[in-house]
Structure 1
Amino acid sequence: MRVIILLTCAVLFYPQSSRAFVQFNNPSERSIQIVSDADTVLSADREFVRIALTDDSYLMLHPNSSIWFRAAQANEVIDVQLLRGKFLIHTNKQSQFTIRVMVNESLINAESANAGIEKSGFYWVEDGQIRIESLTSGSQTTIRKGMYAQITNSSGEIINGNLSAADMQHLSLTYKPVSEAGTPKAYRLESDQSGELVLREISGLIPAVNE
């Protein structure tokens, strides 16, 4: 499987009401790049990186983040290792993909979920559910819509609970079409009649300033 990297600038809200937010001005589409089945992806200071999968699911890296991922065409499991920062998982309800994420000493499985993953060991779910396993303590838990989990650094125990409406609002990103020319642009990979993956321009959603 080949995937698309879509670089954008946008607004970033950090989790929990006690944290401030950072605004990136002049959101715009910067470039499109196709990467191999296994690669390391990095985002710069003012970049969100959107990795679009073939079924409209995607991973969205926050600024100053990096991941390693493998997405073999014959395999419906996508392996991701979060090296730095944080990212958002968005899988549609009919997605054939399971996203398996390694963060420090924890393993996260996401299927039909919208969820945030942070290098600090903080996880939250906007929709659907994710399963978390601490490889240090052996503890496991599942968090669902409106919940969070935090893995403690010392013992590897998992703490979880419910998010307030204000916390969820800060954690959730809003999206709308945007491009430098004012014309909505987005891209994805689709299979043509011969089964080859080709790049298509579509009307799509990429991060924009929160109104």
Structure 2
Amino acid sequence: MAEFEGRQTYFRPEVSPPDGPSPLGRRGYGSCTFCHSSDTVWQHDLNASLCRFRTMFGKGKVWSTSHKVCDRCEHLYNASEYAALARLQTTNPPSYDDELADHLIGLAAFCRADRGPRELEQPDFPPGFEPWEEYTGADFVFGVWPEERRAVVDGVELVASPWPSLDLTAVFRVLWTWAERDKPDEVTATLMIARVAEVLAWPETNALSWLAEQR
């Protein structure tokens, strides 16, 4: 756990936070990165060059560069309570043997890339629309999103759920579980984009059916 121990003396001072308010984070939109609470208060921007990490089995992962955090999880994070944060992210029971360990590895990468917290502003986006960058680092998403469910406000690219009964967290779960249903080395970038576009054209009943199968 040496990476965790060095966060406040090495990782944070190494990368200074950007100047000015972030255009992405808005209080009341999105959910907490760690516990999925909608009562978000803080935003953490990450250094994109430090966001990649590998799980216990060597699978490559990458954090998106913008994350919202609720006040409870922010206090846990600042108190270095990483095990508690990892448990909040882990399903009960765990979906696989090393899930908790993988979340701890991910937290080490998060700490390394973290530019520091900032308090979120009050929301001023259209109801239901949120920045896609708060949910994924896949920059092709906005281009394939249904035109009537995307918008640009003050230079920020926003998306809204294409299915009324699902929030964006659930929407992205549908997208990625469908697009990545094969072995990782069988899913090319072109195939990934095509599958995401395919899912976004589904009727709501198809999305609900697929999501139910993943539980």
Structure scoring higher RCO (CA < 8 A, sep ≥ 6) equals 2
Bucket of the pairwise TM-score, normalised by the shorter protein: under 0.3
Considering fraction of residues, name the structure with more strand. Answer: 1
Higher helix fraction (1 or 2): 2
- Give the TM-score normalised by structure 1: 0.25
Give the TM-score, by structure 2 length: 0.25
